[in-house]
């Protein structure tokens, strides 16, 4: 046993040495790139260097400000998609390159004349300005690399060190990692976040709205909460970790234990084609849509700072008969907190054979329709699932007697398709919320009464055959 411990310690020391060596290599590359940009700016002269710096600042500010909204429109919201992880990096780089090249072309076109400066001002001045440009450009590249779903660390560098718990009795550990020599990533995020109209880590930013509550906050570990820069780096680090685990057939990153507790109780992720069986009820999410209005009901609004979340759900019952009520469904956060009122039932109207609108089915509560009837809305619904009646044995045919026709019986069914409408805070993301089904507990059966012993008495006379 002692030899095993020595070997494990040596292996850990060797891994740490390799990680530090690769981190030193990343620092050297970043420093060389910064000095290289400074030298090229010195050759260009102070006039061109200032133009390049201004173009870099404008392009970086617009890139960080627009990458969130553009990724929210063009990227995927499905964590099982690679585009979900690469969308922010793609739009950040796209906006920066387009704006930067456009400004450089405009400067060359409209500001072609370079004023003459003495050499002792032109060359060193351009170098000093180029150092600022190189620092911001390298910082932007380091941040962009951390957005890509490559690995939890980039050439050995990770802004956070994560240590999984050894057993259930301990908690996961998360600490700040060793920063880069010149903290290029933190410096660029601080600078561009200051220039943005809404800092990247603020609750008002689109970036925070998409990812701010998707991942467990730092208070689940001993990581200090220091500001929006750490929020962004933490989010990017966590998404890289999640992407790697997803490729290894894990569906999440290092989530807090409260999340697994919610999932163990039947929590269903708000992702299409997710399924779960709870109490012999098969639940399948067919679609999830986030909206601020409901078609046909413009006066129905969500509370302030909240959105409507439409969840199209297929409910299939195993044991019949069974009754399922919409009030048995609720949304909970990864922390187990309820964040909604009972769901509404919403959908498009259907028509029967006579082309008459069939607005709702039995069991819908306080239902109403728009005008003309195209959609319906109800405060809730009770879905009744019944088994088909048993087929009676064949009987001799008897001539039908004239009389009034019988009303058709309710058709049996074991499944229902419906759209539930919840309300959810705008700051919450789909990945941080679960759909929970909590059917009421079945009433306990009364215990059987103990058998009473027979009272002694004269034996009864046998009956005559």
Per-residue pLDDT of the chain (465 residues; tens, 9 = 90+): 333 333 344 444 555 666 677 889 999 999 999 999 999 999 999 999 999 999 999 999 999 888 878 887 877 766 667 787 788 899 999 999 999 999 999 999 998 888 888 999 999 999 999 999 999 999 999 999 998 888 778 888 988 877 766 655 555 667 788 899 999 999 998 898 888 765 454 444 555 545 544 455 444 445 555 567 777 787 788 778 777 765 554 444 454 433 344 444 557 877 766 778 888 888 988 888 888 889 889 889 998 888 899 999 999 998 888 899 999 998 887 667 777 678 999 988 765 554 554 445 678 888 888 877 788 899 999 988 887 766 666 555 555 555 555 544 555 778 888 999 999 887 676 766 888 888 887 666 655 555 555 555 555 555 554
pTM for the structure as a whole: 0.55
Q: From residue 186, give the alpha-carbon distance in Å to each of 29, 142, 151, 193, 195.
A: 17, 9, 19, 10, 14
Predicted pLDDT at 35 = 97
Contacts of residue 26, Cβ cutoff 8 Å, sequence gap at least 6: 154, 155, 156, 157, 180
Phi, psi of 111 (to 5 degrees): -125, 60
CATH domain 259-389+411-437 topology: Immunoglobulin-like (2.60.40)
Predicted pLDDT at 334 = 66
Q: State which H helix or E strand residue 350 sits in.
A: strand 350-351
Q: From residue 158, give the alpha-carbon distance in Å to each of 23, 148, 149, 370.
A: 9, 13, 13, 54
In this structure, how many other beta carbons lie within 10 angstroms of the beta carbon of residue 324? 21
> How far is the C-alpha of 132 from the C-alpha of 302, rounded, in Å?
47
Predicted pLDDT at 288 = 86
> How far is the C-alpha of 185 from the C-alpha of 159, rounded, in Å?
10
Q: Which DSSP letter does residue 64 get?
A: H
> How far is the C-alpha of 307 from the C-alpha of 3, rounded, in Å?
59
Q: Calculate the dihedral angle through the C-alpha atoms of 368, 373, 377, 381, rounding to the nearest 10 degrees.
A: 80
Predicted pLDDT at 127 = 96
Predicted pLDDT at 321 = 86
Q: Where are the beta strands (DSSP E) in 100-199?
A: 160-163, 173-176
Predicted pLDDT at 20 = 76
Predicted pLDDT at 264 = 44
Q: State which H helix or E strand residue 83 sits in.
A: helix 82-110
At 22, list the tokens: 């690769």
At 37, list the tokens: 């940009």
Contacts of residue 434, Cβ cutoff 8 Å, sequence gap at least 6: 262, 263, 267, 268, 269, 270, 331, 332, 333, 334
Quick: pLDDT tens for 132-180. 999 999 999 999 999 888 877 888 898 887 776 665 555 566 778 889 9
Residue ranges covered by each domain of the chain: 2-247, 259-389+411-437
Phi, psi of 277 (to 5 degrees): -110, 125
Question: What's the N-to-C CA distance of the chain in angstroms?
Answer: 86
* DSSP string covering 234-299: HHHHHHHHHHHHHHTT-SSSS--HHHHHHHHTT-EESSTT-EEEETTEEEEEEEEEEESSBTTBTT
Predicted pLDDT at 456 = 58
38 burial (CB, 10 Å; 0-12 / 13-18 / 19+) is buried
Predicted pLDDT at 453 = 57
Predicted pLDDT at 340 = 67
> How far is the C-alpha of 162 from the C-alpha of 221, rounded, in Å?
10
Task: Tell me if 380 sits within 8 A of 346, measured CB to CB.
Answer: no
């Amino acid at each position: 046993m002692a030899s095993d411990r020595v070997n494990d310690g040596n292996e850990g020391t060797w891994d740490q040495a390799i990680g530090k060596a690769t981190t030193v290599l990343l620092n050297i590359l970043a420093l060389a790139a910064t000095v290289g940009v400074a030298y090229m700016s010195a050759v260009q002269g102070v006039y061109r260097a200032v133009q390049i710096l201004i173009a870099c600042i404008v392009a970086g500010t617009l890139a960080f400000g627009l990458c969130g909204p553009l990724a929210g429109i063009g990227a995927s919201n499905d964590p099982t998609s690679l585009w979900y992880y690469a969308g922010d990096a793609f739009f950040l780089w796209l906006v920066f390159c387009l704006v930067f090249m456009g400004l450089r072309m405009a400067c060359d076109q409209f500001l072609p004349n370079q004023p003459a400066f003495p050499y002792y001002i032109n060359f060193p001045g351009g170098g000093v300005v180029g150092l600022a440009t190189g620092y911001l450009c390298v910082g932007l590249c380091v941040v962009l690399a951390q957005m890509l779903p490559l690995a939890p660390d980039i050439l050995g560098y990770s802004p956070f060190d994560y240590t999984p718990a050894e057993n259930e009795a301990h908690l996961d550990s998360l600490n700040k990692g060793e920063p880069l020599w010149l903290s290029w990533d933190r410096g660029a995020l601080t600078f561009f976040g200051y220039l943005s109209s809404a800092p990247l880590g603020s609750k008002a930013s689109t970036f925070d709205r998409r990812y701010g509550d998707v991942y467990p906050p730092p208070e689940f570990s001993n990581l200090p909460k220091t500001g929006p820069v750490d929020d962004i780096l933490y989010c990017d680090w966590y998404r890289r970790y999640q992407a790697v685990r997803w490729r290894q057939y894990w569906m999440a990153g290092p989530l807090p234990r409260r999340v697994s507790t919610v999932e163990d109780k039947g929590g269903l992720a708000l992702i299409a084609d997710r399924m779960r069986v709870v109490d012999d009820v098969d639940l399948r999410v067919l679609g999830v849509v986030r909206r601020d209005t409901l078609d046909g009901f413009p006066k129905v609004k969500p509370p302030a700072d909240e959105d409507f979340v439409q969840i199209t759900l297929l409910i299939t019952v195993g044991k019949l008969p069974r009754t399922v009520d919409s009030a048995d469904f609720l949304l909970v956060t990864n922390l187990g907190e309820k964040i909604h009122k009972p769901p509404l039932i919403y959908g498009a109207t259907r028509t029967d054979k006579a082309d008459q609108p069939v607005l709702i089915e039995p069991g819908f509560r306080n239902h109403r329709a728009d005008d003309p009837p195209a959609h319906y809305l109800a405060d809730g619904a009770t879905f009744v699932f019944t088994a088909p009646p048993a087929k009676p044995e064949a009987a001799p045919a008897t001539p039908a007697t004239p009389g009034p026709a019988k009303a058709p019986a309710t058709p049996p069914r074991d499944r229902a398709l419906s759209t539930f409408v919840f309300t959810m805070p705008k700051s919450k993301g789909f990945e941080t919320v679960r759909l929970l089904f909590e059917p009421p507990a079945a009433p306990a059966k009364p215990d059987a009464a103990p058998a009473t012993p027979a009272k002694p008495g004269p034996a009864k006379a046998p009956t005559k055959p």
